[in-house]
Amino acid sequence: MADTENLVAEIEALGAKMQEAEASIAKRFIGQKKVVDLVLSTLVCGGHGLLIGLPGLGKTRLIETLGTVMGLSEARVQFTPDLMPADILGSEVLETAEDGSRAFKFIKGPVFCQLLMADEINRASPRTQSALLQAMQEKVVTIGGQPHALPKPFHVLATQNPIEQEGTYPLPEAQLDRFLVQIDVEYPTRDFEREILVATTGTTDDKAHAVFTMEELMAAQTLVRRMPVGEGVVELILDLVRSCRPGQPEAPEIVNRSVGWGPGPRAAQALMLTVRARALLQGRLAPSAEDVLAMARPVLSHRMALTFAARARGESLGDVIDTVAEQVTRVEAAA
């Protein structure tokens, strides 16, 4: 009983801390609450995020603010077609000592930080994009046959411009799957845009304050995994993910007709984590079916693809996911 009470107290304290972090971020990144919640959830779950949005919507400002609020060391890499893997990971250089002896010395690249901003990640070549694969998944990079551990915690927040596709290299499915969520950054509402105008064109700029330390964030990532998840929510996650795979017995007609390939088991793992983080942000002790529905698009949209015929018909992957989620929820409710 005491262990349960302690867990409840820890979850409530973390929820309050996440709400404080949200308020601190809002001082510099006005509006876009859904975006802020998704990015916070990504870090608390220990994952990586892919932010997709037009230029000038504050993606860089948001990530810089996150480094301050979450107590993380940060680095920024502008991805360009001529960027090489060594520009991200680091390289070995031949160093001559005072006694004349020579030895190779490893010079760390910008990936050796706790929060890496990969700006316009789809502008780099596949060779450079793949340099992040091992870092994102294993938190280790190998240079000259020697493994080098990255700092803990380690997170990648990558940005992508959806309109300028000339000279870009689409991210391969293997790398997309390593992002916990896809976060769509949209235009602000008129009221929030008014606030942005007033707040950012004066002589002073509000400052965010640190809410987490590195140790507190790592403890939070462990606590999220200890949060209870009801059997009904687990079954809903499984039903949703499996229903999005064409050719499977659970797949509805719209999936078999419109989806080329569906999400793998990592999508279900991502849902299990992110629904807990969403419940925390809303002050609840355990996730519900509502959290699964809310996280369906961010978790699944970059892990699926429409067929050519579906794209020609003008169908939207987000609409397909919403339709499947609603159908699965109705079946669960009727059972």
Domain count, the chain: 2
| Single residue among 202, 226, 250 that ends a domain in this structure | 226
Q: Is residue 258 part of a domain?
A: yes
In tens, the pLDDT along 221-261 reads 999 998 888 898 999 999 999 999 998 888 888 989 988 88
Q: Is residue 101 part of a domain?
A: no
Q: Is residue 321 part of a domain?
A: yes
H or E element, residue 147: strand 146-149
CA gap 208, 25 in Å, rounded: 6
Residue 251: give the domain boundaries. Answer: 228-335
CA gap 106, 103 in Å, rounded: 10
In tens, the pLDDT along 76-114 reads 888 888 888 888 888 878 777 777 777 777 888 888 999
Do 241 and 316 have their domain in common? yes
Do 159 and 300 have their domain in common? no
Q: Is residue 103 part of a domain?
A: no
Do 218 and 256 have their domain in common? no
CA gap 220, 44 in Å, rounded: 6
Q: Is residue 277 part of a domain?
A: yes
Do 208 and 305 have their domain in common? no
285: domain CATH number is 1.10.8.80
Q: Is residue 86 part of a domain?
A: no
Q: Is residue 88 part of a domain?
A: no
Q: Is residue 172 part of a domain?
A: yes
Do 132 and 152 have their domain in common? yes
pLDDT at residue number 7? 83
Do 287 and 240 have their domain in common? yes
Do 76 and 199 have their domain in common? yes
Those residues of the chain that have pLDDT short of 50 are none
- DSSP output for 26-87: TTTS-S-HHHHHHHHHHHHTT--EEEEE-TTSSHHHHHHHHHHHTT--EEEEE--TT--HHH
Q: Count Cα atoms within 13 angstroms, Cβ side, for 142.
A: 7
132: domain CATH number is 3.40.50.300
Do 130 and 198 have their domain in common? yes
Q: What amino acid occupies position 323?
A: T
Do 201 and 122 have their domain in common? yes
- Token digits for 137? 């998944």
| Single residue among 187, 206, 226 that ends a domain in this structure | 226
Do 74 and 165 have their domain in common? yes
Do 122 and 232 have their domain in common? no
CA gap 191, 198 in Å, rounded: 11
pTM of the full predicted structure? 0.87
- Token digits for 312? 């020609």
| Single residue among 195, 226, 257 that ends a domain in this structure | 226
Do 199 and 250 have their domain in common? no
Q: Count Cα atoms within 13 angstroms, Cβ side, for 206.
A: 17
